[in-house]
Amino acid sequence: PENGFIVVTRSEGAKKLKSVFSVGDGIRLEINTTPDWNKLKMSLSGSAILVENGVIPEKFSFEASDIKARSPKTALGISKDGKTLYFVTVDGRQTASLGLTLREMAEFMQSIGAYHAINMDGGGSTTMVARPLGETAVKVMNKPSDGVVRTVINGIGVFTSAPPAELVGLIIETDDRYMFTNTTRAFRVKGYDKNLNPIEVDQSLVEWSVSGVKGTFEGNVFRPSTYGEGTIKASIGDISTTKRISVLSRPVTLTLDTKTLKLPVGKSKTFRIIGTNPRGYKATINPEDLEWKVSGDFGSVVDGAFTAEKRGAGYIEASFGDARAYCAVSVAAETTKVIERFEELKGSFQSYPATIEGEYTISDEQKVSGKSAGKLVYDFTTNTDVTRAAYWLLPEGGFVLDAYTHKIGLHVYNDHENSGWLRAELVDADGKRQVVDFARVMDWVGWKYVEASLDGIKKPARIHRIYLVQVNPDMDAGSLYFDDLTLVSDSYPSLEGIEVPEDTPFIDEANKAVSFKGATGDSFRFGVMGQSREPQNDVEKRLVKVFADKVTKYLEVGAVVGSGSHESITGGVKNKPVIATHSVDLKSTRATDYAYSVTDFKNSRFIKLDTRKNSLRLSDPDQWEKFLKDLQSFKGKNVFIFMENSPETFTDKLEMELFKKTLKDYRFDTLKNVCVFYKGSENKCTLEDGVRYFETAGYEVSGVTSKDTSNAQYVLVTVKGSEVTYVYKPIESS
């Protein structure tokens, strides 16, 4: 009512109001809160109280039906002395982080020192942003479970009002801290003041120096002449900072980011190049540091960027010393074809919803060429609560777009700026509807040539509608004029017949046969064979017996990796230790289980991991801790690791990356030899960041017959102190 209020309540509140008040009673409304809201500078609502006066409640003040489910969480906490405010987000619903239950979140808040804590809006709303030191913009620090940042109305932020002050600190940035000798790397400096405000740094004032390795600076660009661990130092007056770098020995192989390149004339491509040194360590190389050659006159490379100059095909060569890499190149000349000149009425008008008014006609009011243009009139002043669209429906089902068409062009006259989108609707080769954009905002008046890319559209396709769509609740009406609908095509010369040289292959210095005069001192040999099942025919049984006999008579240790029982091998080896990915330890003569084990043999440590569930963590939750402890406690020279399958098969890619990083860092810090063996479909060794990964197929490989078993191979490893060499040998070889 006018000059009045409606008091709304329910249940017990309604009964109380009816019992206390009668029609005609005078009422005065007073609102009191504890604490007094008039004295609050800021307040924020949440859900459950997680911690109160240092204690986690037995029953939370708000409990959803899924209270025991793990999910992303957001929480705020305050320390007992009131001086520390805790902002906490926990990612969830993803492999790297499942999330926490409400009680687990309360326990975590209590563990970090929160005396009072409250649960906030979580799930897909869990988001934390922060401004990294030296930066001017904030960035998302966690990984929202929806994969995108959600709009959240309930949040809290801390902002600084401290004025900019004098420079007190520096931060060095670079694209890659790993680099090769005689290559270049640019370094940049960012600054901050005592209040942690970002400070713009005049890069010309920075003095650069290096220690640990030799090299020269040209401005902010460093070129090392020796390899090893180094430290870059940046100074401005008395203020300085450092950054660690690793300079690698010369690269022996190069890898380009693409092996086949298609470019239209006038376009350029800057390659990303990865080099690998003899120990398998990788680093990016600036394109300007390489020598480039083009096999024909279809383009050139300037400052590391290839530019297509004329139609043709061939290849590009990149080289650094003796290392070379190649990329096949096809250059197309772009052609255009006008398929509709809008000189006569073709097609018709459509709208969505059907109540939207408009029309499509031919008009001589505006034109680019010829005598007329198509005119699309639209009225979006109604139905503002839904998306609205005005269509030009092309005649006869539309125009065909062949395999060479990669863009659609159109001259468009806009009579006023508006927030509409100009789009085209296609049907691809699979009959699926596809939409491409000419413009995501109509921000011009008059004529403008616009293009829609057909990248990702399976062709041949057909364009059958061009339209203006308004997704905002704007009231708008006007006209568009269309002229010279154009197909932009390119025809690339065939690369068939172009003989592109092979990249320089990687040659592992440890892959060689060496003389062996017996197991003396720290010298010994062992063989590793892959086996995922017991032998199924006479040939496979023969191969198993031959391998077992080799271990018994000529080697000091045998090993078999893969799934299955391995009984045919472990039972066939006599009086020699056998490692099997399903056995307990080196002394086992029979495969018994998958258990993690570690055994030292002379100066080497043999570690068997349980990866039957394509994960260390899922197969045995305790073995990560054991594994790290057994690595760090080892005082010998060589570590040999045996797994059922490749780390690349791990279901959790983050765990795979952690596993490889652990071995990389261990190798780098200790200089011990690290080798990993597992069953695969090939016989090959990959040297990655100083660690060798051995794949062995055993007899489970193509081409094995009763007359020719040369493809059935095992890995013969020779250890001479800290020198480890290997060869892949046919099982039936001498």
Residues 328 and 355 in one domain: no
Candidates 318, 287, 320; CA nearest to 303 is: 287
Is the pLDDT score of 585 beyond 60? no
Q: CATH number, domain at 383?
A: 2.60.120.430
Q: Mean pLDDT over residues 441-470, rounded?
A: 96
For residues 261 and 267, give the distance between their C-alpha atoms in angstroms, rounded to a whole number. 11
Section 686-712 average pLDDT: 96
Length of the chain equals 734
Euclidean distance between CA atoms 734 and 732, whole angstroms: 7
For 105, the enclosing helix (H) or strand (E) is helix 102-111
Supply the range of the domain harboring residue 179.
167-248
Eight-class DSSP state of 553: H
Give the phi and the psi of residue 45 in degrees, each rounded to 5. -85, 155
232 and 213 in contact (C-beta within 8 Å)? no
> Does residue 388 form part of some domain?
yes
Both 229 and 264 in a single domain? no
Query: Cβ distance 332 to 264 under 8 Å?
Result: yes
- Quick one: 350 and 456 in the same domain? yes
Distance CA 480, CA 478 (A): 7
Tokens of 696: 């062995």
- Beta carbons of 140 and 67 less than 8 angstroms apart: no
In-domain check, residue 580: yes
What pLDDT score does 583 carry?
52
Decide which of 318, 335, 352 is a domain's last residue: 335
Q: Which two tokens stand for residue 342?
A: 């809008």
- Which letter does DSSP use for residue 519 in this model? S
Tens-place pLDDT, residues 482-535 = 999 999 998 889 999 999 999 999 999 999 999 999 999 999 999 999 999 999
User: Residue 649 in 3-state DSSP?
Assistant: helix
Residues 6 or more apart whose CB falls under 8 angstroms from that of 118 comprise 46, 47, 48, 49, 50, 75, 76, 77
* Reported confidence tier of residue 579, pLDDT bands at 50, 70, 90: very high
Tell me the average pLDDT across 219-233: 97
pLDDT for position 66: 78
| DSSP code for 476 | -
Let me know if residue 486 belongs to a domain. yes
Do the domain assignments include residue 23?
Answer: no
Domain membership flag for residue 224: yes
Q: State the distance between the two ends of the chain, measured CA to CA, in whole angstroms.
A: 104
| Residue of 182 and 147 predicted with greater confidence | 182
724 and 634 share a domain? yes
Query: Strand, coil or helix: what is 85?
Result: strand
pTM of the model: 0.77
Q: Which of 248, 275, 296 delimits the end of a domain?
A: 248
- Asked if the structure places residue 517 within a domain, the reply is no
- Higher per-residue confidence, 25 vs 218: 218
- 631 and 561: one domain? yes
Whether 587 has a pLDDT exceeding 60, the answer reads: no
Do 242 and 260 belong to one domain? no
Note whether 451 and 384 are same-domain residues.
yes
- Asked which of 248, 270, 295 is the last residue of a domain, the reply is 248
Q: Are residues 635 and 566 in the same domain?
A: yes
Domain containing residue 566: CATH number = 3.60.21.10
Rounded Cα distance between 626 and 597, Å, is 9
636 in the same domain as 540: yes
The domain that contains 284 carries what CATH number? 2.60.40.10
Task: Give 77-87 pLDDT, tens digit per residue.
Answer: 999 999 999 99
Statement: residue 591 has pLDDT above 60: no
Q: Residue 501: is the preceding peptide bond cis (ω within 30°)?
A: no
Whole-number pLDDT of residue 26: 85
> Which residue is it, tokens 């804590």?
117
CA within 13 Å, CB half, 417? 2
Residue 27 · residue 17 · CB < 8 Å: no
Give residue 417's identity as a one-letter amino acid code.
E
> Would you say residue 713 lies in a domain?
yes
Q: What is the total count of domains within the chain?
A: 5
Task: Answer whether 108's CB lies under 8 Å from 88's CB.
Answer: yes
Same domain? For 532 and 556 the reply is yes
SS3 track for 688-716: ECCEEEEEECECCCCCCCCCCCCCCEEEE
User: Which of 448, 450, 342, 456 lies closest to 394, judged by CA?
Assistant: 342
**Would you say residue 8 lies in a domain?**
no
Could you tell me if 440 and 536 lie in one domain? no
Q: What is the mean pLDDT of residues 560-572?
A: 90
| Shared-domain flag, residues 172 and 99 | no
- Model confidence pLDDT, tens digit, residues 237-259: 999 999 999 999 999 999 999 99
